[in-house]
Copies of this chain bind each other. A is one copy, B any other.
Amino acid sequence: MILSEEKLKQTGKKEHSPYPEKDDFFTAVSVDCVIFGLDQESLKVLLIKSDYPLYEGRWSLLGDLISPDEDLDQAADRVLFERTGLQNLFLQQVHCFGKADRHPSGRVISIAYYSLVNIEQIELLKRDHELHWHNINSVGELAFDHNKILNTCLTHLQQQIKTETIGFNLLPEKFSLRALQFLYESVLMVELDRRNFRKKVLSTGLLIDLKEMEANVRHRPAKLFKFNRQKYESSEIKNNFI
């Protein structure tokens, strides 16, 4: 849609001075965080009961309006901290959602972030009954355009996990190769060949063999590994992990 010059003037904006002035139109800006976690069952997403009247009873993403003096990334960090008590989590901007009618209360554009957390690490702090981990395949109808936001973030995650080593953020410090493979299968929603998977991840040289074993499993215990973050950071080739 092309706005006529007249329409542009109605907004109080002068042609060729596209900078904010007192009488300009302003919008509200929020961040929404898609917080992914993984447990033994499946990939999950953390949702909160909506307190917005129109969407009462629906689940929604965790979000908030940005404050005047905080960067966007800081706003997302803050939302995450307020909900999980954790700081410096993996967090990445994905897309800005800005359809004029996406929010019933008025013009609100929202910047979507996604985060990867280790569920066990934050389970402890989560006493809030309005918060719940949902299986990624059964979230139902969310408030606002949050289904769309969630899908966009999931697609990004699936793309990114193939070329970067972000997946380790979903695992505890020490993990078995089975856990790592389960992660990839859960996120990408495919089945992978065990032998080929092991061969590939071990050939990257990015896993440190901890010479430790799983305990209390009712099958042959697996070796435990940890991610060699240092080596990854200092290596030149940072794409094409899997």
Contact = CB atoms under 8 A, between A and B. Distances in A.
Contact of A29 (B17, B71, B98): B98
For this chain, the copies found in one complex come to 2
B78 A2 contact: yes
A16 interface: yes
Contacts of A194: none
A70 B1 contact: yes
B25 A27 contact: no
Q: Chain A contact residues (Cβ within 8 angstroms of B): what range?
A: 35 or more
Contacts of A30: 18
Interface string A52-88: 1000000000011111111111100110010000010
17 contacts: A1-B70, A2-B87, A3-B70, A3-B78, A11-B65, A13-B64, A13-B65, A16-B51, A20-B105, A25-B65, A25-B68, A26-B29, A27-B28, A29-B29, A29-B98, A71-B99, A98-B111
